[in-house]
Amino acid sequence: MQRINDDIKLGNFKQIYLLYGEERYLRRQYTERLQKAMCGEGDNMNTHFYEGKDVPVGEIIDLAETLPFLAPRRVIFISNSGLFKSGGEKMAEYLAAPNESTYFVFTESEVDKRSKLYKTVQSKGYVAEFAIQDENTLKRWIGGILNKEGKKITESTVQLFLTKTGTDMENIRMELEKLICYCMDRDVITDADVNTICTNRISNHIFDMINAIADGQTPKALQLYYDLLALREPPMRILFLIARQYNMLLQVKELKSRGYDNKAIAAKIGVPAFVAGKYAAQASRFKTAGLCKAITQCVEAEEAVKTGQMNDMMSVEVLIVSKHGS
């Protein structure tokens, strides 16, 4: 990222950029910064955008061979093409020796580093990975935004805020804007403000639902399920998220039994340490056999829907009321 900042500051650009990774907010921010720096304002003649799995590679190459119109460069932005996972060979061949006045900015959520296109871009341009940011980085970023708005927040309230928003920076930014507006006439943001304003992610509903199951609070678990249905979440997506949660808890429980601490578990399963701590606490409320049984019941619930034995809404209800050996 620092390399891109330096290129923008100096006006000395690489001919090809690849911005990839799970953190879409940062990908979008840096793509927009490159566009502003590399393209003339309102220059639609020399700035081009392509998106999706079926981008016309041949058409893009023909365009790249066209000299820019009254401008130092032509810039082509290509996003979410999937070319860095498959089908990028023709683009890789062209980028080995592209027209010198044409520049490319690729943005992708996933890439295959073994692909010919990735290796070509890596050798001819600059590759930047935008991974999910760690907890401390997110806290500093949140603090910086609030400080500019003249707002203060305690460590514990930030922690509560992150449990609501998760680590997606785009979601965090939107929730911060809501908080700032809500606390317009006050300097300090409190737990009460966060609980009042910030929207629970669906994963929080799933987490609370499984807590309720562990506590034997079936009516509460069912109510959380009905809340998700009211939000138009499809029953099969809810089933998938329940199954994923149980799988995650089983992994965490096994890692805990092997002596891993929360920080090491977080690295193993790819989540921030504070999330790993929540998972570890929840996993401790289940026996290993209970988690294995719950995962099996999730598979059986999906199979019951696919074979027409039960409708999707009922299959999840039956799963929720089943005993998992907590």
> Could you tell me the CATH number of the domain that includes residue 223?
1.20.272.10
For 16, list phi and psi in degrees, rounded to 5.
-135, 130
Total domains in the chain come to 3
pLDDT band at 1 (very low <50, low <70, confident <90, very high): confident
Residue 306 sits in the same domain as residue 233: yes
pLDDT (0 to 100) of residue 325: 54
Q: Would residue 61 count as lying in a domain?
A: yes
**Could you give the CA distance from residue 178 to residue 176 in angstroms, rounded to a whole number?**
5
Residue 152 sits in the same domain as residue 187: yes
**Could you give the CA distance from residue 126 to residue 121 in angstroms, rounded to a whole number?**
7
In CATH, what number is assigned to the domain containing residue 187? Answer: 1.10.8
Residue 143 sits in the same domain as residue 230: no
Residue 159 sits in the same domain as residue 224: no
In CATH, what number is assigned to the domain containing residue 119? Answer: 3.40.50.300
Residue 149 sits in the same domain as residue 236: no
Q: Would residue 44 count as lying in a domain?
A: yes
Summarize the chain as % helix, strand, coil (round to 5).
60, 10, 30
- Contact, 112 vs 85, CB < 8 A? yes
Tens digits of per-residue pLDDT, 92-117?
999 999 999 999 999 999 999 999 99
- Contact, 102 vs 76, CB < 8 A? yes
- Cβ neighbours, 10 Å, residue 71: 15
Tell the residue number behind the tokens 């799988």, with chain if given: 247
In percent, the amount of the chain with pLDDT more than 70 equals 99
Tens digits of per-residue pLDDT, 180-203?
999 999 999 999 999 898 877 777
38-47, 75-84, 193-202, 252-261: least confident range: 193-202
Last residue in a domain, options 82, 114, 129: 129
Residue 80 sits in the same domain as residue 173: no
3-state secondary structure of 16: strand
Residue 52 sits in the same domain as residue 84: yes
Q: Which DSSP letter does residue 51 get?
A: E
Backbone region of residue 216 per phi and psi (left: phi > 0; alpha: psi in -120 to 50; beta: other values): left
Backbone region of residue 80 per phi and psi (left: phi > 0; alpha: psi in -120 to 50; beta: other values): left
- From 98, 101, 97, 95, select the one nearest 127 (Cα to Cα): 95
- Cβ neighbours, 10 Å, residue 179: 23
Residue 324 has pLDDT above 70, yes or no: no
Average pLDDT of the residues of the chain: 91
Residue 247 sits in the same domain as residue 302: yes
Please report which helix (H) or strand (E) contains residue 308, including its range: none
Q: Would residue 326 count as lying in a domain?
A: no
Residue-number span of the structural domain to which 25 is assigned: 2-129
